[in-house]
Amino acid sequence: MTKYALFIEPSGQLLDFIIDWKHRFETQFPRGAYCSHPPHSTLLFCPIREPALWLQSLSLSLKTTSSFELTTSGPIAFPRDPCTHGGHTLAIGITTSSALIKLQELVATATTPHIDRYLLAPTDGLLAEEPFKSSYITFGFPFVGSHWLPHFSIASPQIQPNHPLVREFESTSMAFRQAVQCIGVWAIDGDRHVRLNSISLNLPSHAHKR
């Protein structure tokens, strides 16, 4: 079943760093979740109807949203991650900011009328718990709101938290800054990711001249 996602996509040194660590984990754990996924931070991932129905309205909304800078906050882990059947998910955390929260809220609100609610999964497991349940029922994605922990996922292998590669990853410096000037629109079916489009945010006048 194809779903659609809206991503913040890394660039520059941050992108290189993520690609390198994904490769390192994939080399040692070739069946580990997330390794093969393109580098991204998820704003929204849900069964939205065909993009032609909502891309234009979302693009118009984002034209009034100014670009901004994000900073990374260091390594984070999600032990026994239910999203990967108990994998040890490793990621680069993103410092939460008002601009980032506003961007997710705008994206989620703009696409809500186009959710294919017949395709929403039963609200059991993680989806039966609050605040994930209310977020999922409203937006089709359980992580919209103040409980969202923005991050760039690296990998989610089935390994112990004290594995040497995990310890090395968690001891590595991860101080990056990046301008968020657009979001990517992706179609996703299982591990298959296809980039469909990108939507620009409102850029400062000096950025247009570069």
DSSP of 56-119? HHHHHHHTTSBPEEEEEEEEEEEEEEGGGTSEEEEEEEE---HHHHHHHHHHHHHHGGGB-GGG
The residue segments making up the domain with residue 118 are: 3-69+98-146+178-208
Size of the chain in residues: 210
pLDDT at 203: 78
The CB-side HSE value for 146 (13 A sphere, CA atoms) comes to: 2
Report the alpha-carbon distance of residue 90 to residue 6 in Å, rounded: 21
Is residue 138 situated within a structural domain? yes
pLDDT at 205: 59
CATH of the domain at 103: 3.90.1140.10
pLDDT at 31: 85
Is residue 165 situated within a structural domain? no
Residue type, 37: H
pLDDT in tens, 64-114: 899 999 999 999 999 999 989 999 999 999 999 999 999 999 999 999 999
Tokens of 165: 């590669």
Neighbours of 142 (CB within 10 A): 23
Answer for the pair 180, 103: CB distance below 8 angstroms, yes or no.
Answer: yes
Answer for the pair 148, 104: CB distance below 8 angstroms, yes or no.
Answer: yes
Is residue 35 situated within a structural domain? yes
pLDDT at 51: 85
Is residue 202 situated within a structural domain? yes
pLDDT at 206: 53
Q: Write a three-state SS string for 142-183.
A: CCCCCCCCCEEEEEECCCCCCCHHHHHHHCCCCCCEEEECEE
Domain count, the chain: 1
- Write out residues in the chain with pLDDT < 70, as ranges: 1, 204-210
Report the alpha-carbon distance of residue 123 to residue 113 in Å, rounded: 20
Is residue 184 situated within a structural domain? yes
pLDDT at 125: 87
Is residue 51 situated within a structural domain? yes
pLDDT at 210: 47
Is residue 120 situated within a structural domain? yes
Is residue 158 situated within a structural domain? no
| 134 contacts: CB under 8 Å, gap ≥ 6 | none
pLDDT at 61: 86
Question: Could you check whether the bond before residue 131 is cis, i.e. omega within 30 degrees of 0?
Answer: yes
